[in-house]
Chain A
Amino acid sequence: MAQSERQFLEIVDLKKSFGEGEARQDVLRGVDFTVEKGEVCVLLGPSGSGKSTLLNIIGGIDKQDSGYVAINGDKLEDMDEKQLTAYRRLHLGYVFQMYNLIPNLNVKENIEVGAYLSAQPLNVEEVLTTLGLQDHKYKYPNQLSGGQQQRVSIGRAVVKNPDILMCDEPTGALDYQTSKEILALIEDCNRKYGTTVIIVTHNEAISKMADHVIRLRDGVVRHNIINEAKMPASDLEW
């Protein structure tokens, strides 16, 4: 694999602060790392470590103060609002802790909301089957459990066939068993569609399913580890 292809996502000396004067808080203080195409990368850290901010900057929905993010060599900072939207549309899929489904669209339609954005979307029925949502496809979000809603949210993200799947605390609102199922689904998507996955979590255990673990604390990368002993999500324990 060529170097440029391997260094799919580059994060270089990223700095970001909020507030001014005494209230100023440096959230990211020079973050550097790269993510290779097709890998599962877990950004680990306690609350306030800057991991969500980092994810938002990578997603093009927040802006860094300095440094840059480049995907396939294209720097996000050079893009205007329109290009950033196109970048998200073409390359990214988002999964949030809260599922943010559209309440008056059913399961299938919520997934179609993602498919609509892509020039080459995955087959919606196939995604429904993969996610175990075939029996629920005509249900509304409020008729589903939290885990099922998160499956729909993953479906909406992966159906786009994105280059990167961004997951912000995807299991934060779920119980242990459901969390494992959701992580297994994310893992499946990575394997099946070759999607690069970035998971933001404070759950140490989730790092075991990653190819690449980046540990953040106080706005800097404390550890940047390639996980040689990757575990299947179903075997995770916490």
Chain B
Amino acid sequence: MKNPLMKRIPKELASDWHKYLVIIVFMVVMIGVISGMYVGHDSMLEAIAAGREALRIEDGSFELSKKASSELLAAIESGQRADVRQYFIDEGLREADEEVAEAIEKELDETVRNRIERAVREQCRAYGITDENLITSRIEAAIEANYDDAIAQTRESEEYRKAADAAYEKAHEAVVEAVDEKWDEISDEYDLNDAFEAVPVTVWENFYRNESEDNNNDGEEDATIRLFRSDSPVNKASFLEGRAPENPGEIAIDRMHADNVGVAVGDTITVGGRPFEIVGLLSYVNYLTLHESNTDLMFDAFGFDVGMVTPEAFSVLPSRLHYNYAWFYAERPADKVSMADNAEYFLKALITQTLVNDSEIESFVPEYLRQASNFAPSDIDSDTAGTAIMCYILIAVIAFVFAITISNTIEKEANVIGTLRASGYTKRELVVHYMTMPVIVTLIGAVVGNALGYTAFRKVALDLYYNSYSMPACEPTFSREGFLKTTVIPLALMFLINLFVILKRLQLSPLRFLRRDLRKTRRSKARRLPAWSFLRRFRLRVILQNVSNYAVLIFGVIFIELMLCFAFGLPDSLTHYSKKAPDMMFAEYQYMLMGSKDEEGERITTSEPTAERFSSTSLKYAKKHNALFEGMGSGGDETVTVYGILDESAYIALPDALKTGEVFISTAFRNKFGLKEGDEILLHEEYANKSYTFTVRGVTEYDGGIAVFMKNDSFNEIFDRDEDAFNGFLSRKKLTDVEEKNIAVVITQKDITKVTNQLMHSMGQFFWIFKIAMVVLSAALIYLLAKIIIERNEQPISMAKILGFQNGEIASLYILPTAIVVTVFALISFVMGYFLMIWIFKVFMMQMDGYFAFYMTPASMVLSVVYLLVGYAFVSVIDFVRIKRIPMDEALKNIDV
């Protein structure tokens, strides 16, 4: 026989439907959102992974200074390192041969001329001719007549051949000797002594042009568009709308960029000075975020675009052709370590092959390091993890709400429980019975939530991604992790929390239940209250009676306030960061150069008077070195920019007494890792086994990044550079006389605000929805807990009515305590939430590179409390109606107390 107690469940659901509806809606939304995030996340990652295969996304790309010959391509594809020694010897021999040949020719010429002159003079002497003019003219005539024959005759002579061979041999020996003498230097330069394995690849042309894009055809450049050919067999695009261009006047551009700048299929834009009709909106899977360069701090979906045109249109566009080549490994590396190894080996092969084939590498980016490909997937991962944690906290809150409701029911049904236990019902049967409802509600939440997660909420999540990134089209996919996190974990949380509370409640003997003696410890006397007015004491009694309810309420309020602090504080922090951006620049322009010399080996200079040379490099700081956050964060390394600054710099002041090995650190570095003057910091190279210890001597006011500053001389000494080497300029004005090809990147204020602007654009709408969701959530939570408080007191409320209390007075007795608790704890929670947020931000930053402090405006601080109280105001209206509806005969019901 099925346990008849189970029949109570549907009745309970029906009779208290509004309460369960609130809980179920709450669970459905929470589980739906998290499920949607996971399904969206998995669908998207699968679409990206599938896209990489189907659209033939490269394993990496490199750009050469000129089109590669077929011999060079074949050599690169072999994956083998070129024979650099032979190359240098060949080059040396070629030069030596030229020199020797020239010397021999010169010698031959002189010898023949002298020989003819001697013969003519002898002849003249024999004939008695002494007139020097006559002799000279005869010599010239003889040279004219006999030079070629004499040269030919000399060349055939044994003596000549011997001399020439000896000269060549000597020169050749000298060349080999010179190469071998310099071999160590050459080996170091090309890493020829390092471990190497040939990594065969196939290489495809993937040429592009960076053209100007004018979206509104007003003659002003709005963005830079990187154009590829529509017939490219590799790095193909996924179309979200429309099609690929088929005629020379057609173009397909990035969907995200089109959305941002407000152009659509059918519109005409000007690219490279020519009109093009947009026929398709696409996503390149290796441009999920529109990073123009791999060294860009942030992607820029407004100022940068990617697209394709037909080969005909591509061939006539005006800007420089970039000889970009995509490579594919013959054997795909299985993991990140082998990806890194392969890329390293391949780079070595590429460097040597381009060297011996008289070409130069302009850029080299393995796919696994490409920002444009990898930024979005890793960002999606962290979003999903964050949402899941939020979901668990809320489910735990709901589980406690349930536990309190059940605890209250157990109290109410004590006699029945006592009778059932006395009749032979086991504790287990009753636990199962009381556990059923939360489990069923969670199951309903999980089933409906997951159903929505795979449909509506998946769309919400995808919209969020599509709003931020240039994602390809995707199909829903089953998310195993999503199932675990949206079904198994909520069920487990609900189960364990309720099991714990119910077991604790049902531990008492049947007799105690029959006697309604449910308190664990019996208070011998009623709690004495201060000599307040009757009404104040009454309210305090209500609070004391409902301490557990209020405990959950307070927990919920803290959580909601924390979330509100997040929802208000993150946009505030971003805006604050943007506003502070001018202070985060050492100079209006920071030029990072490819080196201190140009292609011709000439030192790069500028006539701009405000320009100042500096040096910089990137090192790593091990995060685990900070004890406070040990075990937290990624445990990985922080990227630290090391600057070498000139003495008496106009931009960054360093004391003259700063010695080699002593540094100043940026405020961001100090704040992130809690460093102080006198501390030693250990920085290491990312790819080489080399580390440096520096002593912190002071702090430079700079929040723009994790940075270390030292004198330029010390920099060059420590990093073994030439005495006056540098690789950048700081300048108040734009440098017009430094060639583009010598500039690696220019950092301006726009680059710093680009990050925050892009984030605000991607997340602005999300914050608004999030704030509303928090108000609804706080209202729902307060509603559930306030309901318990009133239900618990239905009989006293009814009795108060019989005694003549008015509804308003009763409300002030039963609603006011909750109002006081909510208000007081909203304020306390705000303070806690605010400081917790600062801490969470700090911990979060430990997992990221850079530093970004949490900030809230005073208006946001006030609003974050007001929002919660607005939610509560709605609930108190409902509570008042609820009190009004309690009938007077409730007090007259037969109760056994």
Contacts and interface: CB of A to CB of B under 8 A. Distances in A.
B178 interface: no
A62 B419 CA distance: 13
A59 B511 CA distance: 10
A100 B419 contact: yes
A96 B422 CA distance: 11
A180 interface: no
Contacts of A109: 4, 7
B419 to A, nearest CB: 4
Contacts of A44: none
Contacts of B15: 104
B295 interface: no
Interface stretch (B104-112, B136-144, B423-431, B702-710): B423-431
B4 A94 contact: no
A56 B423 contact: no
Contacts of A101: 416
B607 interface: no
Contacts of A82: 426
B5 interface: yes
Contact of A100 (B7, B415, B425): B415
Contact of B514 (A88, A96, A114, A115): A96
A92 B424 contact: yes
B421 A105 contact: no
Nearest to A112: B4
A113 B423 CA distance: 10
A157 B424 CA distance: 11
A127 to B, nearest CB: 14
A102 to B, nearest CB: 5
A79 interface: no
Contact of B424 (A85, A100, A104, A121): A85
B690 interface: no
A146 interface: yes
A172 to B, nearest CB: 11
Contacts, number: 83
A117 B425 contact: yes
B424 A86 contact: yes
A205 interface: no
Most buried by A among B12, B424, B894, B896: B424
The interface residues of chain B, by DSSP majority, are classed as helix
Nearest to A53: B511
B94 interface: no
A156 interface: yes
A61 B421 contact: yes
B510 interface: yes
Interface string B72-87: 0000000000000000
Nearest to A114: B423
Given A61-B509, A102-B416, A89 B423 contact: yes
Given A56-B511, A61-B510, A96-B514, A104 B422 contact: no
Interface in B530-574: none
Nearest to B418: A100
Interface in B382-415: 413, 415
B424 A115 contact: no
A86 B425 CA distance: 8
Interface in B853-897: 894, 896
A156 B423 contact: yes
Given A62-B511, A104-B11, A104-B15, A113 B4 contact: yes
Most buried by B among A56, A102, A105, A160: A102
A121 to B, nearest CB: 8
B179 to A, nearest CB: 92
A90 B418 CA distance: 17
Contact of B423 (A86, A112, A117, A173): A117
Contacts of B378: none
B1 interface: yes
A93 B423 contact: yes
A98 interface: yes
B12 A104 contact: yes
Given A56-B511, A117-B423, A156-B423, A105 B7 contact: yes
B773 interface: no
Contact of A160 (B4, B11, B423): B423
A117 B1 CA distance: 9
B1 A116 contact: yes
Contacts of A112: 1, 4
Interface size class of B (residues with CB under 8 A): 20 to 34
Interface in B4-18: 4-5, 7-8, 11-12, 15
Most buried by B among A85, A90, A156: A85
B420 interface: yes
A238 to B, nearest CB: 23
Contacts of A56: 511
B424 A88 contact: yes
B130 interface: no
A199 B707 CA distance: 88
Nearest to A85: B426
Interface string B1-45: 111110110011001000000000000000000000000000000
Most buried by A among B7, B15, B419: B419
A49 B222 CA distance: 98
B4 A96 contact: no
A24 to B, nearest CB: 16
A154 B187 CA distance: 100
Nearest to B896: A98
Contacts of B510: 61
Interface string A75-111: 0000000100111111011101010111011000100
Nearest to A56: B511
A181 B426 CA distance: 32
A160 B4 CA distance: 14
B422 A90 contact: no
A102 B5 contact: yes
A61 B4 contact: no
Contact of A59 (B1, B4, B5, B422): B422
A63 to B, nearest CB: 9
A105 B8 contact: yes
A125 to B, nearest CB: 14
Contacts of A86: 424
A98 B415 contact: yes
Interface in B32-76: none
Interface in B500-523: 509-511, 514
Contacts of B11: 104-105
Contacts of A100: 415-416, 418-419, 514
A116 B422 CA distance: 14
A12 B15 CA distance: 49
A102 B7 CA distance: 11
Contacts of B427: 85
A102 B413 CA distance: 8
A96 B894 CA distance: 14
B423 A92 contact: yes
Contacts of A92: 422-424
Interface in B713-766: none
B421 to A, nearest CB: 7
Contact of A115 (B1, B422, B896): B1
A120 B296 CA distance: 80
Nearest to A104: B11
Given A102-B8, A104-B11, A116-B3, 4 more contacts: A62-B509, A100-B419, A112-B4, A116-B4
9 contacts: A62-B511, A85-B426, A96-B514, A100-B419, A102-B416, A104-B15, A114-B423, A115-B4, A160-B423
6 cross-chain pairs, A with B, having the tightest CB-CB distances, nearest first: A89-B424, A112-B4, A100-B419, A88-B424, A98-B896, A100-B415
